[in-house]
Structure 1
Amino acid sequence: MDLDPSFKDKKKTIDQSSLLCCKLFISESRNHAALDAIERAGRLDPETVIVNKFPDRAYNRVRYTLVSYVMHDITGSAIYSPLQQTILAMAEAAFGTIDLETHSGAHPRLGVVDDILLHPLARASMDEAAWLARAVAADIGNRFQVPVYLYAAAHPTGKALDTIRRELGFYRPNFMGNQWAGWTTPEILSEKPDEGPTMVSQARGITMIGARPWVALYNIPIMSTDVSAARRIARMVSARGGGLPTVQTLGLVHGEDSTEIACMLLEPNQIGADRVQNQVEMLAAEEGLDVEKGYFTDSSPEMIVDKYMNLISAERD
């Protein structure tokens, strides 16, 4: 989006109380040259801040947490956010340095740029997050010729992320029962994407893009290499398996001597980490397994806003 000089000048004095947060998940954590290129792209615009980075070598996956503001026209409609071009720059760097056909890891994935999730922060609205998600989806689909599926508030009917992933085979390991390697999904998609082609580049894969209220990501280590037991526990904890409402889980191999229950807490203020931890410990005890204290992979929304404001103020001083 090209802006005239007067519009750009106005950006400098905007009240930064309407913020959007992007969780950008990329299928790579071992190739440092690729990560350096992605992070350089993420720093091109000082109005966007990378507030957190969470790489996981066993999963071969990294998540960047980005924050910037959103601007509105005189009617109050969202018209611009620096996040849009920053996300696209990071995606371009990822597509240019990562080949999904040579990728392997213990975490499922469907694409190089696997998932882009937008959250409203501070005084921003869900409509604004959904607007940006759809704008980024159109750009990625058209510019990079990558199929994009929208989910949650970005999707016309609010279709859930796990539903789309299940349709596309996201949850089925394709290598030795516990790893995801290369590309095995058909090159022609049976489910028409919301943006981009129906033909998949095996090197780039598919991208999921959504908008929804804050999701907490919480992982619980199981001191066992028995991935079948971890999957049984994960299933019984999840809402889908009749466990805790608004909790989604995966039982995954995590390193040479442990497994992990990777949890998405869709409403963390209602079903929080303590309750999930207790449930996992109880079920693991029935399997005769030890459990370590879980950990969040990101900061709270309040901490992210504070960090963004501090970093943006330091940048301008």
Structure 2
Amino acid sequence: CVEMAKKLGERIGTELQIPVYLYEEAATRPERRDLAYIRKGQYEALKAELGEKPEREPDFGPAHMHHSAGATVVGARMPLVAFNINLGTSDISIAKRIAKLIRARDGGYMFVKAMGVNLDERHIAQVSINMINFRKTSLYRVFETVKMEAERYGVPVVGSEIIGLVPMDALIDVAEYYLRIENFDRAQILESRLTVE
């Protein structure tokens, strides 16, 4: 996937004349592994700094924004799991404290990005989580930590949600943990036995 990302990035930069930044596993610089680093300051800052600051030079393409397409990123990474945990409180400060505790940049779990948000229409707070690598940090581990921390504040977890697609293995890991099925083998999963012809 890394080679494919690099080839695609080079093609976009050369053929379409769009500045391309490689990120995650395809990154050419350690700081560019994190998409947030590349996006820092958003469009306006990138436009002003492109061609002026060496750290903002793209991996491929011109050192100026494309007139209609701007700039883009191309990367190779594990599937991201967008996972939100809803708290039985409208106190956003609790969600923010829990998010800070679990996210990697503040010393929490590796491969976890999180923030606390308000769901005004539901009158609850939410810990909004991006699981960057569910194989290295599991959903159930993060869920249990959020639940335990919420309980310290006297707040229940009232639900959770997956946003978008999720790899089946991420959910099987959760089922294995919570159901504690004895002698379970993933070959027992019906879908693993079906073939498409």
Tell me the TM-score normalized by structure 1.
0.43
2:116 counterpart of 1:251: yes
Q: Which residue of 2 aligns with 1:33?
A: none
**CA gap 1:203/1:223 in 2 versus in 1, 3 angstroms:** farther
Q: How many Å apart are 1:144 and its aligned residue? A: 4.3
How many residues are aligned here?
168
| 1:153–1:255 distance in 2 versus 1, CA, 3 Å | same
For 1:93-104, what aligned pairs fall within 5 Å after superposition? none
Structure 1 or 2: more strand by fraction: 1
- In the alignment, does 2:161 pair up with 1:277? no
> What's the offset of the Cα at 1:278?
1.4
Match of 2:61 among 196, 209, 217: 196
Shift of the alpha carbon at 1:223?
4.5
Match of 2:40 in 1: 169
**Aligned to 2:116, what secondary structure does the other structure show?**
strand
1:219-278 deviation digits (Å, cap 9, x = unpaired): 223355554443322111112212223322233445633443332334423421111011
Distance 1:192 1:296, change over 3 A: same
> Which protein shows a greater Rg?
2
Aligned partners of 1:221 and 1:259 also within 8 Å: yes
> Unmatched 5+ residue regions in structure 2?
171-190
Pairing of 1:156-305 with structure 2 (within 5 A): 156-157=28-29, 159=31, 161-162=33-34, 164-166=35-37, 168-169=39-40, 184-188=44-48, 189=50, 190=53, 191-200=56-65, 204-254=69-119, 256-257=121-122, 258-297=124-163, 298-300=165-167
How big is each residue's C-alpha offset from its partner over 1:293-314, in whole Å with a ceiling of 9 and x where there is no partner?
32333232569x97xx74xx4x
Q: Which runs of no fewer than 5 residues in structure 1 stay unpaired?
A: 1-128, 173-182
- Distance, in Å, in 1 between the alignment partners of 2:158 and 2:71 is 34
Q: Share of identical aligned residues, percent?
A: 26
Post-superposition CA distance 1:123-176 (Å, at most 9, x none): xxxxxx1121112222333444433211232123555543x5235426x9xxxx
Return the alpha-carbon distance in structure 1 between the equivalents of residues 72 and 83 of structure 2. 22
Report the counterpart of residue 152 of structure 1 in structure 2: 24
Distance 1:142 1:212, change over 3 A: same
Could you list the runs of 4 or more consecutive aligned residues of structure 1 that deviate by over 6 angstroms after TM superposition?
none
**2-structure distance, mates of 1:197, 1:224:** 49
SS at match of 2:8: helix
Alpha-carbon contact 2:32-2:38 (below 8 Å) kept: no
- Letter of the 2:22 partner, please give it: L
Residues 152, 159 of structure 1: 8 Å contact kept: no
